[in-house]
Amino acid sequence: MSTYPVAFAVFCAAFALVTVAGFLAARWRRPSGGMQSLDEWGLGGRSFGTVITWFLLGGDVYTAYTVIAVPAALYGAGAMGFFAVPYTILIYPYMMVVLPRLWKICHKHGYVTFADLARGRFGFRPLTVAIALTGILALMPYIALQLVGMKVALAAMGLQGEWPLIIAFVILAVYTYSAGLRAPAIIAVIKDLMLYIMVFAAIIILPAKLGGFAHVFAVAKAALPTHNPAGSVLLKAGQSLPYATLAIGSALALILYPHTATATLSSSGPQTLRRNAALLPAYTLMLGLLALLGYVAIAANVVSADKSEVIPLLFLKMFPQWFAGFCLAAVAVGALVPAAIMSIAAANLFTRNLWGEFARTPLTPAKEAEQAKIVSLVVKFGALAFVLETPGSYAIEMQLLGGIWITQLFPAVVCGAFLRRRLHPWAVFTGWAVGMLCGSAMAIALEFKGSGVYPIRVFGQTWAMYAAIPALLLNLLCSFGLSPVFESIRAFPEHKDSIATA
């Protein structure tokens, strides 16, 4: 039983509202023939307008773990944890340029995933399979992290054991199976309204209770150097390059994640995506305010060995129980939306680009949709089993590796979509392999710690940077440098370049 009964009651009421919305979503814009294709089940009929796409993309970027991890990073390390804010500033101009182009290509040729796009561009099965596997492997720990976020919110209310988490994800699995992408699209609206209420209430009320932001920053400035490792409210010497590369690498990675592809391709057109790139910075404002709650927790003397628990404990300590329950429900609902989108994206990749690549008999659209529904269930419960059977730190460590991996798709997806000059399929595949191996080696050498910041030694100088960036540079060097070599030896037969005319 919960040690915070009022908070738990409000939490359950909010969760029930979201559950009802999830099941009703199956009827929203449902085609007369039902959701008998990946276009309908996995991409919502490619019909979402500006408002729904705004909430859906926001649900992709601002997850439950974002709500917990970003303030926790400031609570533990100070300014270094603030890189998530410039990262979200960088992402929107990048989205403005890249996403409309990717949408046009995929819409013209009926592509459901970015692996489909690479298949059409390069016509090379090993590369298609590599992109699909990379996407699925990178998504699994990401889904697990949403479960970690929900688990922390439940544990803060004194709910121990596995059953609350299992019940929540059984409900998620059922309404995602029946409604497809329409379910997280509807729930994303509720989730974001709850998050905005939570953030603005917290950022106004809590500092006022603690003597204002001047006092909050003064306490944080004095406390952070005593942490292990020591933190600070300003970047220290040598932290600028890691900070910048973490922001740049994270921005490059986000566009390439399969759940971003799913949200992108569900929109009604390029103009919808451009409007969203212009409107989504409102989330960055929310994130910047949310991050400051890490310092508020220090000033409120919230103490926890697990930094992931800091924000839930802050809410329970400083707010009335009923509003703390509302805030924790917002965190839990913030896990449902991205977890649903991610499981759908993984199902699309498996069905279209793994099973579909090797099936002797091509699947009909209805069979594709049915198989994707089943795979989405397997993905959800696989992530649930991972969280229940392993420490939460494992999911964090694997997510670090997933971010490095997914960045290695940049040459195949982004360069492949934009460059008229033909990159050779074998060169791009070789670049992907080199980037994956080098990035993985750096993460392993770091023991999956330190946010993936690896010291690169060049000409007697040491440059500490996010491991995804040097791995990507090697990837690009191979992709572009080896293309003329493979072309000269005719290492690959001619194929129709469908994107050249897109």
| Whole-Å CA distances, 124 to 39, 119, 120, 176 | 24, 6, 9, 32
CB-CB contact of 383 with 145 (8 Å): no
Q: Is the pLDDT of residue 207 over 70?
A: yes
| Whole-Å CA distances, 333 to 129, 147, 282, 467 | 33, 11, 20, 32
Q: Is the pLDDT of residue 219 over 80?
A: yes
CB-CB contact of 237 with 391 (8 Å): no
Query: What is the pLDDT, as a whole number, of residue 501?
Result: 46
At residue 162, the 3 state secondary structure works out as coil
Q: Which of 121-125, 244-248, 257-261, 283-287 has the lowest mean pLDDT?
A: 283-287
385-408: per-residue pLDDT in tens? 887 777 766 667 777 888 999 999
**CATH T-level fold of 5-20+60-501:** Sodium/glucose cotransporter (1.20.1730)
Confidence of residue 495 (pLDDT cuts 50, 70, 90): very low
Six-digit token string for 482: 């080896």
Average pLDDT over residues 25-42: 75
Query: What is the pLDDT, as a whole number, of residue 170?
Result: 85
Higher per-residue pLDDT: 470 or 22? 470
Higher per-residue pLDDT: 391 or 306? 306
Average pLDDT over residues 283-306: 90
Confidence of residue 275 (pLDDT cuts 50, 70, 90): very high
| Whole-Å CA distances, 454 to 61, 254, 323, 408 | 25, 20, 42, 17
Q: Whole-angstrom Cα distance, residue 410 to residue 342? A: 19
CB-CB contact of 307 with 156 (8 Å): no
CB-CB contact of 425 with 122 (8 Å): yes
423-433: per-residue pLDDT in tens? 899 999 999 99
Query: What is the pLDDT, as a whole number, of residue 435?
Result: 97
Q: Is the pLDDT of residue 2 over 80?
A: no
Q: Find out whether the peptide bond into 229 is cis, omega within 30 degrees of 0.
A: yes
Q: Is 333 exposed, middle or buried (0-12, 13-18, 19+ CB in 10 A)?
A: buried
Six-digit token string for 220: 């944080």
Higher per-residue pLDDT: 472 or 254? 472
Query: What is the pLDDT, as a whole number, of residue 17?
Result: 87
Query: What is the pLDDT, as a whole number, of residue 32?
Result: 59
Give residue 44's Cα distance to chain centre.
Answer: 19
Helix 64-77 to helix 321-349 angle, to the nearest 10 degrees?
Answer: 110
Q: Which of 125-134, 293-302, 370-379, 444-453 has the lowest mean pLDDT?
A: 444-453
Q: Whole-angstrom Cα distance, residue 169 to residue 68? A: 19
CB-CB contact of 338 with 148 (8 Å): no
Q: Which of 295-299, 320-324, 452-456 has the lowest mean pLDDT?
A: 452-456
| Whole-Å CA distances, 172 to 14, 18, 153, 177 | 14, 10, 17, 8
- Give the Cβ contact number of residue 385 at 10 Å: 11
- Tell me phi and psi for residue 419, to 5 degrees: -90, 125
pTM value is 0.91
CB-CB contact of 56 with 279 (8 Å): no
- The domain locations on the chain are 5-20+60-501
Query: What is the pLDDT, as a whole number, of residue 472?
Result: 97
Q: Whole-angstrom Cα distance, residue 321 to residue 172? A: 26
Query: What is the pLDDT, as a whole number, of residue 141?
Result: 84
The mean predicted confidence, pLDDT, of the chain is 87
Confidence of residue 216 (pLDDT cuts 50, 70, 90): very high
Q: Whole-angstrom Cα distance, residue 363 to residue 351? A: 9
Concatenated DSSP letters for 367-397?
HHHHHHHHHHHHHHHHHHHHHHHS-HHHHHH
Question: Can you name the residues that pair with 466 across neighbouring β-strands?
Answer: 453
Concatenated DSSP letters for 439-467?
HHHHHHHTTT-GGGEEEEEETTEEEEEET
Q: Whole-angstrom Cα distance, residue 335 to residue 328? A: 11
At residue 362, the 3 state secondary structure works out as coil
Average pLDDT over residues 270-275: 92
Query: What is the pLDDT, as a whole number, of residue 428?
Result: 95
Query: What is the pLDDT, as a whole number, of residue 468?
Result: 94
Q: Whole-angstrom Cα distance, residue 130 to residue 475? A: 14
Q: Is the pLDDT of residue 502 over 60?
A: no
Across 117-177, the runs of DSSP E, i.e. the strands, are none
Q: Whole-angstrom Cα distance, residue 245 to residue 464? A: 9
CB-CB contact of 241 with 463 (8 Å): yes
For the chain, what is the radius of gyration of the CA atoms?
22
Six-digit token string for 168: 């929540």
Q: Is the pLDDT of residue 496 over 70?
A: no
53-108: per-residue pLDDT in tens? 888 888 777 777 778 888 988 998 899 888 888 988 899 899 999 999 999 999 99
Amino acid (one-letter) located at 40: E
Six-digit token string for 445: 């050498």
